[in-house]
C-alpha cells in the first residue's frame, strides 16, 4: 500500500495503475485462485513483497506467471534481501528485479525508467536486476531520512483500514539496537543515513482519527522499538489518548 500511495501521488499515476491485492485475495484465496486473480488483471509488472513466511508461495506464483507470460516483469523485494539479493536472483530465473531496502523511492524510479522506454536500470540505487544472462547489483540506496516525503496510504485512500479491521501503522522506521537476527540492525550496518527516523505526531494522530471515524477500533503499532525516543513516545501516547477519548 505504501508503494501505491507513492505512485498515486506522483506524475506516474497518469501512465500506470497500481492494483493491490487486498485482504480477501491474499488471506482467503488459495494459490490457484490467487494466480487466477493476478492474471485477470493482465499485468505487465507483478510485484511480490518478500518475507520468510511467504517465500515458497511467492516463488511458485512468480515461476508460474513467468511461464504463462514471459514478458511480464516479475519484481520482489523486502527486508530479507538486504543480504544475498544477487545470489537469490541468480538462482531464481523467474524474477527480473529485486528491490533492496526501503522500496518507495526505488520502485518509483524503476517505473519511471521503464515507462520512459529505457531498459538500463543501472542508475537506480537499491536494485539488483537481470540484464540478459548477467545479474547486476547497483549500489545500495541511503535510508530515507525524511519520512514525511512518503504519502500515508491511509490518508491518501490507497488503503482502507476497514478492509482489514485494524490500523496497521509505522510511527517510525529503524531501531537503535544491534540485534544480530534483525533486519533493522542489518539495514543500519550496510546503508547510509540516520538509522532511526520518525513520522510526525500530527500525521500519526490524523491516521488514527481517520481510522476511528471509519469505525475501526483496533490498531497495531509495527515499530521495532516504540520507546526508542521516550519523550516523543510519551507525547504521542498522550495525543492518541485524547483521540481515543473523543
Model confidence over 88-104: pLDDT tens digits?
999 999 999 999 999 99
Counting residues of the chain whose pLDDT is more than 70, the rounded percentage is 100
For residue 60, which phi and psi values (nearest 5 degrees)? -65, -45
The pLDDT assigned to 157 comes to 95
pLDDT band at 118 (very low <50, low <70, confident <90, very high): confident
User: For residues 51 and 73, what is the distance between their CA atoms, to the nearest angstrom?
Assistant: 19
Counting residues of the chain whose pLDDT is more than 90, the rounded percentage is 82
Any idea which residue has 500530527 for its cell?
202
Q: Is 237 helix (H, G, I), strand (E, B) or coil?
A: helix
Mean pLDDT of the chain: 93
Burial string for 74-100 (b: 16+ CB within 10 Å, else e) reads: bbbbbbbbbeebbebbeebebbbbbbb
pLDDT in tens, 169-220: 999 999 999 888 888 877 777 788 899 999 999 999 999 999 999 999 999 9
* Strand boundaries in 63-166, DSSP class E: 73-78, 97-100, 127-131, 134-137
pLDDT band at 80 (very low <50, low <70, confident <90, very high): confident
The pLDDT assigned to 185 comes to 78
pTM: predicted TM-score of the whole model, two decimal places: 0.91
Residue of 33, 12, 60, 21 lying closest to 163 (CA atoms): 21
Which whole number is the average pLDDT over 160-170?
95
pLDDT: which is higher, 143 or 190: 143
Instruction: Read off the DSSP letter of residue 22.
Output: -
Residue of 141, 143, 106, 102 lying closest to 121 (CA atoms): 106
Amino acid at each position: 500500500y505504501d508503494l501505491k500511495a507513492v505512485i498515486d501521488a506522483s506524475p506516474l499515476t497518469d501512465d500506470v495503475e497500481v492494483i493491490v491485492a487486498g485482504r480477501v485475495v491474499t488471506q482467503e484465496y488459495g494459490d490457484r485462485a490467487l494466480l487466477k486473480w493476478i492474471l485477470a488483471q493482465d499485468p505487465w509488472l507483478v510485484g511480490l513483497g518478500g518475507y520468510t513466511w511467504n517465500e515458497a508461495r511467492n516463488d511458485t506464483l512468480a515461476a508460474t506467471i513467468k511461464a504463462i507470460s514471459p514478458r511480464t516483469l516479475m519484481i520482489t523485494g523486502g527486508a530479507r534481501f538486504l543480504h544475498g539479493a544477487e545470489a537469490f536472483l541468480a538462482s531464481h530465473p523467474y524474477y527480473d528485479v529485486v528491490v533492496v531496502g526501503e522500496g518507495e523511492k526505488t520502485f518509483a524510479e524503476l517505473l519511471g525508467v521503464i515507462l520512459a522506454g529505457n531498459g538500463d536500470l543501472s542508475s537506480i540505487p537499491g536494485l539488483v536486476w537481470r540484464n540478459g544472462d548477467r545479474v547486476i547489483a547497483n549500489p545500495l540506496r541511503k535510508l530515507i531520512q525524511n519520512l514525511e516525503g512518503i504519502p500515508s496510504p491511509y490518508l491518501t485512500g490507497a488503503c482502507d483500514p476497514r478492509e482489514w479491521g485494524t490500523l496497521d501503522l509505522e510511527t517510525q522506521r529503524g531501531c537503535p539496537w544491534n540485534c544480530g537476527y534483525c533486519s533493522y540492525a542489518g539495514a543500519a550496518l550496510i546503508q547510509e543515513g540516520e538509522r532511526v527516523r520518525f513520522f510526525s505526531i500530527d500525521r500519526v494522530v490524523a491516521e488514527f482519527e481517520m481510522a476511528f471515524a471509519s469505525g475501526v477500533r483496533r490498531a497495531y503499532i509495527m515499530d521495532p522499538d516504540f520507546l526508542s525516543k521516550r519523550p516523543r513516545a510519551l507525547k504521542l501516547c498522550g495525543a492518541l489518548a485524547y483521540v481515543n477519548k473523543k
